[in-house]
């Protein structure tokens, strides 16, 4: 959305009115404005998601672990929502891919459905635990539909959303918001969109088809892998910067999503810096319950990363991407435990930290090959890996 003139026109217009009207109407106005703008982009899907919003808003606050009937009803709705997500995220793309004719199904995939689902499940679970007590419909709709963060996150938590909002306009909101937006635009349009994309195209050409990978030298293959991962990081973090900056203009301090993961000294540390709101959500609602149930952190880690991989797309490439990171994190954690046990302090120096940063960046970049070549399947990934090792012609 940020690449359209309409987005920026709507942002400025809504921002002016938002701060001009009395504070008691602001949440409702921003909710209606966000919904209306999103409805111009994908009217059917946004209206369908509105139905889910109202359903969760009506049921979740009345569900409790002490009331089995309402609690089972809530979980039935959560499972139905996950089924809805799976149908549109996996079944519809599979039909489109395997159908030669234009079925029109690509136009019914709900906008921002993944992030939307995460937010609803968070609201449902925390409401059933009694941790969310605010029943303001205007605030809830604003939380669900805030248009700068609707399609690409961050995955904001409801309590954080309500608690981190300033009620009075101050010039520092403009300074913080515009500065953050500028950072995002520079990342996306200049560093990634011009410099790195030009470098990538010089290596594999503008078409980027699978045949271009076969002609790479070892050096070109490694440069391509690093550049492709950097583009992915900069694009994603740029969208987060812009979303956070736009939200800041409205007084909201949205949760951070990236903390310079490319400088992480270990893969475990990388995942405490990369897509932090997704990692936090999965840690809270998948990892910790699995550890409590199985007492096997390695198994929980594997499930978590397979989940993250398949969340991106239902393909073997993304599945293997998840497995790579699961193995990397598990090995890194085992090594950290061994170091603590043996008190190996010689690995704490600055030199080893730089080595760790390089190795972590390289690991993440190589694993990203599976994602970068997802359109070509395992053969595409295998071709790039063979060039990295100098194999083949």
What's residue 335's pLDDT? Answer: 87
67: which strand partners?
Answer: 64
From 29-38, 134-143, 337-346, 377-386, the region with the lowest mean pLDDT: 337-346
Statement to judge: residues 247 and 265 lie in one domain: no
Q: What is the number of domains present in the chain?
A: 3
Sequential DSSP letters for 87-102: IIIIIHHHHHHT-SS-
pLDDT in tens, 151-198: 888 999 999 999 988 889 999 999 999 999 999 999 999 999 999 999
Of 390 and 235, the one with more pLDDT: 235
Q: Is 257 helix (H, G, I), strand (E, B) or coil?
A: coil
Statement to judge: residues 117 and 62 lie in one domain: yes
Statement to judge: residues 283 and 365 lie in one domain: yes
Statement to judge: residues 242 and 326 lie in one domain: no
pLDDT in tens, 2-39: 778 999 999 999 999 999 999 999 999 999 999 999 99
Answer for the pair 95, 105: CB distance below 8 angstroms, yes or no.
yes
pLDDT in tens, 55-105: 999 998 888 877 788 888 999 999 999 998 888 877 766 666 666 555 454
Statement to judge: residues 249 and 302 lie in one domain: no
What is the band of 349 on the pLDDT scale with cuts at 50, 70, 90? confident
Last residue of a domain, one of 163, 198, 215: 163
Statement to judge: residues 101 and 148 lie in one domain: yes
Parent domain of 324: 259-393
- Cα–Cα nearest to 373, from 220, 225, 271: 225
Statement to judge: residues 139 and 217 lie in one domain: no
Statement to judge: residues 186 and 219 lie in one domain: yes
Last residue of a domain, one of 255, 283, 298: 255
Last residue of a domain, one of 255, 285, 311: 255
Statement to judge: residues 268 and 374 lie in one domain: yes
pLDDT winner (highest mean) among 83-87, 206-210, 212-216, 293-297: 293-297
Give the pair of three-digit tokens for residue 382. 């295998």
CA distance 331 to 365: 17
pTM score, whole prediction: 0.90
CA distance 50 to 55: 9
Does the pLDDT at position 107 exceed 90? no
């Amino acid at each position: 959305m940020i690449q359209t003139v309409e987005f920026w026109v709507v942002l400025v217009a809504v921002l002016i009115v938002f701060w001009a009207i009395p504070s008691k109407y602001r949440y409702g106005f921003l909710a209606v404005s966000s919904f209306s703008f999103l409805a111009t982009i994908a009217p059917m899907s946004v209206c369908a998601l509105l139905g889910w919003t109202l359903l969760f808003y009506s049921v979740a606050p009345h569900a409790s672990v002490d009331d089995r009937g309402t609690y089972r009803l809530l979980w039935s709705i959560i499972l139905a929502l996950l089924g809805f997500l799976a149908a549109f995220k996996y079944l519809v793309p599979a039909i489109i891919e395997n159908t030669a004719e234009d079925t029109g199904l690509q136009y019914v995939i709900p906008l921002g459905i993944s992030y939307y689902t995460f937010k609803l499940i968070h609201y449902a679970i925390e409401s059933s635990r009694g941790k969310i007590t605010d029943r303001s419909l205007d605030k809830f709709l604003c939380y669900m539909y805030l248009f700068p963060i609707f399609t690409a996150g961050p995955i904001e938590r409801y309590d954080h959303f309500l608690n981190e909002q300033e009620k009075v306009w101050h010039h520092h909101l403009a300074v913080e918001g515009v500065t953050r937006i500028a950072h995002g635009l520079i990342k996306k349009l200049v560093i990634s969109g011009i410099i790195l994309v030009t470098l990538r195209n010089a290596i594999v050409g503008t078409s980027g088809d699978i045949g271009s990978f076969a002609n790479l030298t070892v050096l070109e293959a490694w440069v391509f892998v690093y550049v492709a991962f950097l583009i992915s990081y900069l694009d994603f973090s740029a969208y987060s910067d812009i979303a956070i900056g736009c939200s800041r203009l409205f007084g909201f301090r949205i949760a951070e999503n990236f903390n310079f993961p490319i400088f992480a000294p270990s893969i475990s540390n990388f995942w405490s810096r990369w897509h932090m709101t997704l990692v936090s959500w999965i840690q809270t609602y998948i990892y910790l319950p699995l550890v409590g149930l199985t007492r096997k952190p390695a198994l929980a880690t594997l499930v978590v990363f397979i989940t993250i991989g398949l969340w991106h797309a239902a393909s073997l490439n993304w599945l293997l991407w998840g497995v790579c990171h699961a193995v990397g994190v598990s090995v890194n954690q085992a090594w950290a435990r061994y170091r603590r046990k043996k008190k190996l302090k010689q690995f704490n120096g600055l030199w080893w930290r730089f080595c760790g940063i390089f190795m972590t960046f390289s690991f993440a970049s190589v694993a990203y090959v599976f994602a970068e070549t997802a359109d070509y399947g395992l053969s595409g990934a295998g071709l790039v890996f063979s060039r990295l090792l100098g194999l083949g012609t």
